[in-house]
Chain A
Amino acid sequence: MGNQSDADFEPRQYRVKHRTTYTYEDDVTGCYERGCLRPRETPSQRVLSNDIEVSPQPDLIADHVDHFGNHSHYVEVRTPHTELAVTKTSIVQVEWPRADMDALNATTVAQARAALAADADPVERSTYLLPSALVDLAPSVRAYADSILLPDKPLGDAIVDLTRTIYTDFTYSSGSTSVKTTLPELLENREGVCQDFAHLAAGCLRSVGLPGRYVSGYIETQPPPGKPKLEGSDATHAWTSVLVPGGGWIDFDPTNDHLADSRYVVTAWGRDFRDVSPLKGVIFTESKASKLKVAVDVIRLDTLAD
C-alpha cells in the first residue's frame, strides 16, 4: 500500500469549488436538477461554510437529508437558457484518524462477517450488503473476491490486499468506461476509473458478506513537480468504505492504493454512484446536443478552525 506520512493525517482546511456547466444548442425551457450540493458532516469532517450558485437564477432550490444521510438538493430553473452553471463552494475541515490495522487484524474475514451478522444494525448491514444497480454480484465478481478476501485472512490485511490487488490488476484509463459499464465488463477489460474501482471493491466486500459502500468526494492533488497548480485541474473522486465489527467504517481508495487520509473530502455516500450522482437533471428542450464541463478545485487553506 502507498506510503502515507503522519502529516497526511493532520487536520487541515480546504476550499472545494465544484462547477458544472451544461451548454445546449437551443433554449432549455425547463430544467429540474437533483444533486448533492453540500458535503455531509462526518466524524472526520466538518463543513464550515457552503455556498451554492446557480445560473440562470433558479426558481426554487430545496434541500433535504436523504435516505443515506446525505444532503440532497432539488433545483428548478425555468428561465430559458442555453447554459446552466451550478457552482458549489465549500470550506471543510478534515482530520482523518489513521485506521488501527492491528486491531482489525485481530479478527479474520469470516469472524468479521459472523460478528456483523449478529451485532451490526440490521438495516445498515443489509443496505450495503445487497447487490445494487451498479454493484452486480455476478459470479465473476464473487470469484475475484474469493481469490482476495480469504475467510481466514486477518481483516486488516484483507482490506489492504483488496486495495492493492485492484490497484495492481487494473489500468487507470479515463474514458474507458461509462455509467453503464458493469462489473463483469470491468473485470473482463481490466481498465477503468475511480468510480469503477470503488464499485468493484464494494462488490468484492458484499460478495464475502462484508457491507461495502460507495463514497463520493474529492481528493487534493499535487501538480507535476515544478508546475503551478492549474485552476479547475482537480476532479471528483470516489472510493470505498467497509463496515467492520464494532460499527466503524474504514475508508480505502483502490485507485490510489491507500487508506483515506486528510486529503479526502467526503460529499456523500450510498450503495453506488446512482445514489450519490453529483448532479443529474431532466430538461425540456428541442436542443439535439449538450456539452458538459466540470471544473473542480481543491485548495488547501492556511487557517484552521478550533
Chain B
Amino acid sequence: MTAQVDDDSGGALTSYRAMLHGSDLQGVGADSAAGTNQGSGHVPQPAYDELLGPDGLREVNSAVGEAIDSLGRYGLLTRAARARRFVQSDGVTYGSTEDGVQGRNWQIDPIPVVIGAQEWADLEDSLSQRAHLLDLILSDLYGERMLLHRKVVPPEVVLGHGGFIRQVDRVRLPSPQQLFLTATDLARGANGEWQVIADRTQAPSGAGYAMANRRIITRTMPALHRGVDLARLRGFFHTMRGALQDVAPETSEAPRVVLLSPGAASETAFDQAFMATLLGFPLVEADDLTMRDGRVWVRTPGKLEPVDVILRRVDAEWSDPLELRNESQLGVPGLIDATRRGTVTVVNPIGSGVLENPGLQHFLGAVAQEVLGEDLTLTAPPSYWCGDDAQRSHVLANMSDLVIKPITRDANNASRFGWDLSKEEQDDLRRQIEATPWAWCAQEPIPSSSAPVITRDGLEPRRLVLRTFAVAQGGGYRFLPGGLGRVASEIGQIQVAGRTGSVAKDVWVQASDDIATEPWAGHPSERIATYAGAEPSGLAPRVAADLFWLGRYAERAEGTARLLKVADDLTDDYGHRPGSLGAAAMTAILEAVALVTAVRPGLVESTTEHYPTEPTTHLRTLVTDSRTPGTVGYAVSRMVQASQQVRDQLSLDTWPVLSRLTETLEAEHEEESQLQSLLNQLIESLLAFAGIMSQSMIRDRTWAYVDAGGRVERSQQMVALLKATLAQENSPVIDGQITEAVLVAGESVITHRRRTAAGRGPASPVQSALNLLLLDRDNPRSVAYQLDRLGEDLRLVGDEERAEIGGTLAERLRGVDLDELGGHDRSALLALLNDLDGDLRGYADAIGARHFMRKATQTTHLTEWTLSRETH
C-alpha cells in the first residue's frame, strides 16, 4: 500500500507528516475566519490523509511524493505562483463583482489528488447506482408519485420542498432517463470510504472548472503529469455532446443545442462559457431566445433559428417567467409549455432541483430497497427528518453535533453547524423547527479527508470535497474521471464551498486499461453527422453587439495609445521649452488629444486638483485610469468585459493577451516607469490581439462583427483626429510638425516620406496626409479602406443593404478634391469632416438597429383581485 520515501531529503513531506500527527485540524487558525469551527470539538477530525497513509506515502501518490520531495519548499512555492499566473492568463474567473466584471478569485493548488484506478471504478459503480436511483425518484415524483402514495417517502418532504415544481407535472424528456446530469459532492468518512454530502441536480456547475484545472496543472507540473498515466477528461465532454443531441425531440433531424446562461455576471460564468466551448454549442442568454408558435428560437438578424435542446444553467425558478417567477428576465415565457408539448428539450429538466432536497437523504435506503431491491453501496452519514417525531427529538437533543438543514435551501435559509450556534441561536432554531418540523432535517458531519496545500509555511492539510459529474446516455451514466476537487481555504475550515472560499484541486484518476484505450469514450450521437452538415448558426443580437464592441474597444485602445505616444514624445521634447515652436505644436496636439479622447485635463475622476494638470501626469492618467471613458485603461477594461460576455466565441489564445494587457496597466500603478515603454507594451499586446483576430479566426460571422467594430471605430477615430488637427487653423510654422504627428499616430509616416521623396502623391504635406489617411484605398489606416472592409464584413453577415450604405459613403469620398481642402483655409475640410463624422455615426446606428436590437421590455401582468358578493 505504501512506497518508501526518504524523509530526510525533501523536508516538505516530513514536516507535513509532523503537522498531520501533531496538529488539531480544527484548532489551527480556526478563529481567523467566519464559518470555521469555534473549537467546541464536536466535529470529527479527518482521520484520512490523501497523500500519507499510516505507513507513509500512499502508493498511488508515489510520483506525487517524489515531485514534492524534489521540488522542495521553494520549488513548490514557485509552482504555486506559476499556477496563479496560468489562472490569470487563461482567464479563469469565479464570482462576480458589482460592476459586471468577473471575479478573479479562482485559486488552484498544484498538487493533484490522485485516485487509483480500482478505487475509482468502485466509486463509479456506486455513483452510478445512486444516479439511477435519483433518476427513478425524479420520474416517479413528476409521474405516479407511488413513493408518496405508499409513504415510502413522507409526502411533506417532497410537496413542501421549493424545488418541487407542479407546473412540470407529467412533463417527460424523450429519453429513458429523466435525470440528464447529476453531480455529487463527496467527502471521505473516518475509514477513508467516500460518503455523499449532497446531490447537485438543479444545474450542476464545475465540470468546466475541472477541465480548466487540468489544463493548468498539466502546464504547472509538466514532468509529473507526463510521468503518470491518467484517465483523460475530454471524452466526457464528447459523450455529453452526443447525449445532448440524442435527447432532442424526435422530430428534429439535425438537433440544435444551446447552453442557456443567466449571463456573464453569473458566479460560474467561466464554467458555463468554457463548457459551451468544450461542447461546441453556442452560449445564449434569455434575450437571445424567443418563443414563437410554441417553439424556442435563437434570434439572429433577419432570421430565426429553431432550438431543439437547451442545456440549462438558469435555475428552474427563473427559467419561465410566465409560469414561475414573474420578475425573471433570465428565462423564456412559455418554456415549460414548450417542453410539455415536446418542441424543445430542457436538461436538466425543470423540476430536477427537487432531488437536491437533503430531507430525502434519510429515506433513500428504503427507496433503494423499494425500487431497485438493492442496498445503496455509496453511504451517506446518518441523517434525520424533523417531520418524524422520534427523529426530531433526536435532532433537538443533539443539535451541537449535527449540521441542521432546511429542506429548501435559499439565500435566506442556509445550513447551520450546530456546534457553531450559541445557546440563543439554538433556542431560536429549535422554535423554528418546532413550528414547521417537516421543513427541517439534519445530518451528522463527515470527518472528510485532508489533502496537502502549498503555503509559505510548507504543506498544510486542508479538508477535501470532491464533486463528481455524470451524464445520462444510452440507458446508463457516464462519468467525468475524477471531478472537481476543492479544499478549504483555511486550515481549520470545515465547510468547503465556493462562497466561503476554497482552493481547487486537480483530481487524477489513474488510467485503467479500459479508460485509457477509449479517449473518446465511444457512443457518438447518431445525429452528429447530420448536425455537422447544418448551416452555421447566425449570432444573436446580444452576442453580435458584444463582438462588435470588442472590436471597437480594442481599436479604440490601440488608436488612443498611438496618439498618446505621439503626444508624450512631443511633451518629452518640448515640455520644458515653453515658447518654442515645438511647444506650440505640443500644445496643439495635447488639445487634439483632449478633443479625441473627450477627457479634459482636470476632469478626470481620479484627479483631485483642477486644471491645469501637468501634461505628463495627464497623459499618464489617460493611459492608466480605467474608470473614465476615453482613456486607454477604460477601453481595455471594456474590451475585457466584452470578451467575457462572448467567451465561448473566442480562441483560447485570446485570454493570455487580455491578461497581459490588464497586468501591464495594473503594474504601472506600482512603479514609475517611462510612459513610452508602457505605451509600447500596450500597443504590442493590442497588436497581438489584432493578430489573433486576423490570423486565428475563421472568416465567419463572429469574426465579421469583431472586424466591423474595429472598422467603425478606426474610421471615426481618424475623422476625429483629423478634425482636431489638420482641420484647425494652425500657424503655418507648426503645420508641418502637426501633420507629421498625425501621420505618426496614423501609422502612415513612412509611406508619406517615401512618396514625397519619390515625388508621388500630392505635393503639400497636408494634402499628402489627407490623401493617405482619408482617401487612399490601399492604406489600412485610411477611412476609405475602413469603409471597404466594413462593406465586406456586412456582406459576410448577410446584410447587403447596410453594406451599400457604406458603398455610397465611400463613393462620396472618392469625389473629394484635395486641392480645395488642404490649402490655407481649412473651413471646407472641417465641413467635410463634420459631414463625414455625422454620416459615420448614422451608419453605426443603422448597423446597430439592424443587428443589435434587444427584445422589447418584458413585463408581467396578473389579473388583480376581482370581486363578487351575492347581493343581499
Interface residues of A (CB under 8 A from B): 20, 22, 29-30, 32-34, 59-60, 62, 64, 66-68, 74, 76, 78, 121-123, 125-127, 130-131, 172, 174, 177-179, 193-196, 218-219, 221-224, 234-237, 255-256, 263, 275, 277-286, 290, 292, 294, 296
- Which of A67, A235, A283, A290 has a CB less than 8 Å from the CB of B868? A235
* B11 on the A face (CB < 8 A): no
Q: Contacts A193-B867, A221-B870 hold; do A282 and B294 have CB atoms under 8 A apart?
A: no
Docked-complex contact B867 and A194, CB < 8 angstroms: yes
- Contact of A285 with B322 at beta-carbon distance under 8 Å, contacts A60-B294, A76-B293, A195-B865 already known: no
Choose one: B159, B292, B864; the contact of A123 (CB below 8 Å).
Answer: B159
Report yes or no: B863 in contact with A283, Cβ–Cβ below 8 A: no
- CA gap between A123 and B169 in the complex, in Å: 14
Distance (whole angstroms) from the CB of A121 to the closest CB of chain B: 7
| B334 on the A face (CB < 8 A) | yes
Of B291, B333, B857, B858, which is in contact with the most chain A CB atoms at under 10 Å from its CB?
B333
B160 touches A130 (CB 8 A): yes
Closest to B328 in A: A282
Of the stretches B144-152, B548-556, B702-710, the one at the interface is: B144-152
B861 touches A292 (CB 8 A): yes
With A32-B322, A32-B333, A179-B864 as known contacts, state yes or no: A126 contacts B169, CB within 8 Å: no
Please indicate the chain B residues that have their CB under 8 angstroms from the CB of A64 in the complex: 340
Q: B865 near A283 (CB under 8 angstroms)?
A: no
Which of B145, B154, B159, B868 is in CB contact (< 8 Å) with A218? B868
Once the chains bind, are B167 and A67 in contact (CB under 8 Å)? yes
Are A278 and B294 in contact (CB-based, < 8 A)? no
A284:B322 contact, CB within 8 angstroms: no
Cβ of B869 under 8 Å from chain A:
yes
* Interchain CB contact under 8 A, B861 and A66: no
B293 and A60 contact, CB distance less than 8 A: yes
Task: Kindly report which residue of chain A lies nearest to residue B153, judged by CB atoms.
Answer: A122
The verdict on B866 contacting chain A, using a C-beta distance below 8 Å, is: yes
* A296 vs B863: C-alpha distance when bound (angstroms): 14
* Known contacts A66-B166, A177-B865, A256-B869; A34 and B860 CB within 8 A of each other: no
If A66-B169, A130-B156, A223-B871 touch, whether A179 touches B865 (CB-CB below 8 Å) is: yes
Instruction: Tell me which of B290, B859, B864, B871 contacts A283 (CB under 8 A).
Output: B859
Q: Is A123 touching B863 in the complex (CB atoms < 8 A)?
A: no
Q: Which of A74, A193, A234, A236 contacts B334 (CB 8 A)?
A: A74
**10 closest residue pairs by CB, A with B:** A235-B868, A126-B155, A282-B333, A284-B856, A67-B166, A237-B868, A32-B333, A67-B169, A74-B337, A280-B862
Q: How far is the CA of A193 from the CA of B861 in the complex (A)?
A: 20
Chain A contacts for B293, CB-based, 8 A:
59-60, 76
B119-162 contact mask (Cβ, 8 Å, vs A): 1 or 0? 00000000000000000000000000100110100111001100
- Expressed in whole angstroms, the minimum distance between the Cβ of A304 and any Cβ of chain B is 23
Could you list 17 examples of A-B contacts with CB < 8 Å?
A: A33-B322, A34-B322, A76-B292, A174-B867, A178-B864, A179-B862, A193-B865, A222-B871, A223-B871, A237-B868, A255-B870, A263-B870, A277-B863, A280-B326, A281-B322, A284-B857, A294-B866
Determine whether the beta carbon of B857 is less than 8 Å from that of A285.
Answer: yes
Contact of B869 among A59, A172, A224, A292 (CB under 8 A): A172
CA distance A294 to B863 in the complex (A): 9
Nearest residue in A to B860 (C-beta to C-beta)? A282
B322 CB contacts on chain A under 8 angstroms = 32-34, 74, 280-282
Q: Knowing A194-B868, A224-B871, say if A283 contacts B148 (CB, 8 Å).
A: no
A122-B148, A285-B859 known, 5 other contacts, Cβ within 8 Å: A34-B323, A179-B862, A234-B868, A282-B333, A283-B860
Does B481 touch A at the CB level, under 8 Å? no
Cα distance, A47 to B151, chains bound together (Å): 35
Residues of B contacting A122 with CB < 8 Å? 148-149, 151, 154-155
Docked Cα-Cα span, A300 to B98, in Å, equals: 61
Provide the residues of chain B in CB contact with A219, threshold 8 Å.
Answer: 868, 870
Question: Of A121, A172, A275, which is within 8 A of B149 by CB?
Answer: A121
B204 at the interface (CB under 8 A from A): no
Report how far A264 CA is from B337 CA in the complex, Å.
30
A62 to B337, CA, bound (A): 8
Q: Are B860 and A280 in contact (CB under 8 A)?
A: yes
B866/A236 in contact, CB under 8 A: yes
Chain B residues closer than 8 Å to A174, beta-carbon distance: 865, 867
Report the nearest A residue to B857, measured CB to CB.
Answer: A286
Interface presence of B341 (CB below 8 A): yes
B277-299 contact mask (Cβ, 8 Å, vs A): 1 or 0:
00000000000001111100000
Interchain CA distance A122-B166 in the complex, whole Å? 16
* B855 on the A face (CB < 8 A): yes
CA distance A26 to B326 in the complex (A): 21
In the complex, which residues of chain A have a beta carbon less than 8 angstroms from the beta carbon of B341?
62
- Given known A130-B159, A280-B861, A294-B866, contact A32–B340 (CB-CB < 8 A): no
Instruction: Report the minimal beta-carbon distance from A219 to chain B, rounded to whole angstroms.
Output: 6
Q: Are B156 and A126 in contact (CB under 8 A)?
A: yes
CA distance A47 to B659 in the complex (A): 67
Query: In whole Å, how far is A231's beta carbon from the nearest beta carbon of chain B?
Result: 16
By a CB distance below 8 angstroms, the chain A residues around B156 are: 126, 130
How far apart are B314's CB and chain A's nearest CB, in angstroms?
15
Cross-chain contact B856 with A29 (CB below 8 angstroms) = yes
Query: From residue B351, how far is it (CB to closest CB) to chain A in Å?
Result: 11
Q: In this complex, what residue of B is CB-closest to A196?
A: B865
Q: Is B321 an interface residue (CB 8 A)?
A: yes
Q: Is B236 an interface residue (CB 8 A)?
A: no
Residues of A within 8 Å of B337, CB to CB, are 34, 62, 74
Q: In this assembly, does B438 line the interface, its C-beta being within 8 Å of a C-beta of chain A?
A: yes
Q: Are A194 and B155 CB-contacts (below 8 A) given A34-B323, A279-B863, A281-B322?
A: no
Distance to closest chain A CB from B176 (angstroms): 23
Nearest CB on B from A65, distance (A): 9
The chain A residue with its CB closest to the CB of B165 is: A67
Cα–Cα, bound, A172→B341 (Å) = 42
Contact B868 A76 (CB under 8 A): no
Question: Chain A residues with Cβ under 8 A from B857's Cβ?
Answer: 284-286
Contact of A130 among B438, B855, B862, B871 (CB under 8 A): B438
- Alpha-carbon distance A130/B870, docked complex (angstroms): 30
The CA-CA distance from A235 to B870 in the complex, in Å, is 10
Q: Note all chain A residues with C-beta closer than 8 A to B159.
A: 123, 126-127, 130
Residues on the B chain within 8 Å of A67, using CB: 166-167, 169
Q: Considering only CB atoms, which chain A residue lies closest to B320 in the complex?
A: A282
A286, B856: Cβ atoms closer than 8 Å = yes
A213 to chain B: closest CB distance in Å? 13
| B333: A residues at CB distance < 8 A | 32, 282
Interface centre among B159, B326, B337, B865 (most CB of A within 10 A): B865
Interface residues in B796-839 (C-beta closer than 8 Å to A): none
Give the distance in Å from the alpha carbon of A94 to the alpha carbon of B149 in the complex.
Answer: 32
Question: Which residues of B lie under 8 Å from residue A236 when comparing CB positions?
Answer: 866, 868
Q: Are B291 and A32 in contact (CB under 8 A)?
A: yes
CB proximity of A267 to chain B, nearest CB, Å:
12
Scoring A130, A131, A285 by chain B CB atoms within 10 A of each residue's CB, the highest score goes to A130
- B705 CB to nearest chain A CB (Å): 25
Across the interface, B291 reaches (CB within 8 A) one of A76, A125, A127, A290, namely: A76
| A298 CB, min distance to chain B CBs, angstroms | 9
Q: Which of A76, A194, A255 contacts B294 (CB 8 A)?
A: A76
Q: Are B861 and A284 in contact (CB under 8 A)?
A: no
Inside 8 A of A290's CB, which chain B residues have their CB?
861
For B334, B438, B868, the residue with the greatest tally of chain A CB atoms inside 10 Å of its CB is B868
Residues on A with C-beta less than 8 A from B867 are: 174, 193-194, 235
A-contact bits for B253-273, CB 8 A (1 contact / 0 none): 000000000000000000000
| Chain B residues whose C-beta falls within 8 Å of the C-beta of A121 in the assembled complex | 149
Instruction: For A76, give its contact among B334, B864, B866 (CB under 8 Å).
Output: B334
With A and B bound together, what is the CA distance between A234 and B151 in angstroms? Answer: 44
Task: Give every chain B residue within 8 A of A177 (Cβ-Cβ).
Answer: 865
Among A66, A123, A177, A279, the most chain B Cβ lie within 10 Å of the Cβ of: A123
Contact among B155, B321, B869 with A255 in the assembled complex (CB-CB below 8 Å): B869
